[in-house]
Every structure is written in structure tokens, then in C-alpha cells.
Amino acid sequence: MTEQKSTVIKPGIPSRERLIFALDVPDLDSARRLVSQLGDAVVFYKLGLEMFLSGDYFRLADELREQGKKIFADLKLFDIPATVASAVRQLARRRVDFCTVHGNDGMLKAAAEAKGDMRILAVTALTSLDQGDLDDLGFQCDAAALVLSRASRALAVGCDGVVSSGLEVTALRASVDHALITVCPGIRPILNDESPATDDQQRVITPARAIAAGADYLVVGRPIRDAADPRAAAEEIQRQIATSLPSPM
């Protein structure tokens, strides 16, 4: 059955920039090989903690920028507000597009005030957490309520967007409309008519369903990285995103 196209999609984002590839590899050579393989199939790259600890994070970021790519620094900054602000200022100097902060209102506000042209994304609830995990962490609510609470507070202190499961995007759009960018990990495309892969992600969704719900950007890692042909896998996800967007008038 064909999924309906969304009427809650934010305009102005180029279709091919909506796919963010999680470049989670251990070293610069592995990253370069993947970037070369993917070519123009990927425009936006997420660089996380694994690459950061390789020692070549900013070298890779500079190389991607020279190739005209966009960069999402997924470092989930969490420290006292002054330290978070200093870290954000350092990242902004590297012409990073997005940066994640995983903290309270004070940390988020400090990041928002120091961001320059960079966009600050507040982490709501990690997509690897299920309800049992949230209970263990002491949250007295379900994932959807937690995401909405954190999103409204992030908006109030000046953040540009949130990271959340695509499962919560419909509620986010109803609550804050397009005031916040929504970046959704836990995307598991159906490739070759197979079911989405099972791994440590708990709250997963397909690209078509996430876009139809109003997601702005989709973060995909393993389904591309571990594919026999990463470029073909990326192009198929790009196709699924494009066909889920409203047709131009």
C-alpha cells in the first residue's frame, strides 16, 4: 500500500539534504573510503563520538566541507553551561551546520546563545531506549510525553531543533508546528522487500512514514554503511524520501 504524502512537511529543504548519513567508523581512512563510495548520493554527514575519539574529527570535517558537504556534529554536549558554551563556540568556528546538546535548560540556553550560524539540536530521548529503560532512569512518563516536554523547553530557551524518534514527530508537529527542526535517527528502510533490520535501536520507523509524519531530516547509518553496495542503498533511501514528499505545484 502506498503511504500518503504529508501535508505537514516543512518546505525549503532540498530533498537530497534530508538524508543524513551517520559516518560511524573508527578511522579517517575508513571514512574517506565511504565518502568516496557514496559520492553525490549523500550531501549531509553526521560525525559522532567514535570519529571524534579517532583524533581526525576536524580533519575529516574540513575535508567534507571542502567537498561541499554539510556536517552534523553529534557530540551530545553535556557539562556546566559555561563549558557547553565554550565548546559550541569552538564548533561554530569549524563551520559545522548542526550540533547536539544533551542537557538541561541551562546547558541548552548557553549553547543557543553561543551558536553563531550553527543550529543547536536538543536531544530528547535516545531511540535506543524503550519504556523499561525510561522507567529505570526514573522518568515518570512515556517516551512521547518526555519528547514533547523536552522539545517545548528547548524551543523556549532558543534551540533550533530536536533529535527524536520519527514515532514522536506527529505529536511534535501538533505541539510546536514547524518552530523546531526535527532530526530523526532510528530510521530503518525496507530494502529488497525485506523487513527492517533488528539491532539496538528500539523505536524505529521507515523513511516514508517519518517524512509523512513531518520529519525534516532522517539519520541513517548501518543500513547504508553495512550494505553490499552503500551507494545503491543510499540512493534507494533518497528515492524513498523523494517519493514521500509532496509533488511540486
Give catalytic residue positions: 76
Comparing CA positions, the residue from 74, 79, 35, 67 lying closest to residue 51 is: 74
d(CA 170, CA 192): 27
Task: Enter the C-alpha cell of residue 36.
Answer: 568516496
- Residues 6 or more apart whose CB falls under 8 angstroms from that of 69 comprise 35, 42, 43, 44, 45
CB hemisphere CA count around 195 (13 angstroms)? 3
Comparing CA positions, the residue from 152, 248, 166 lying closest to residue 211 is: 166
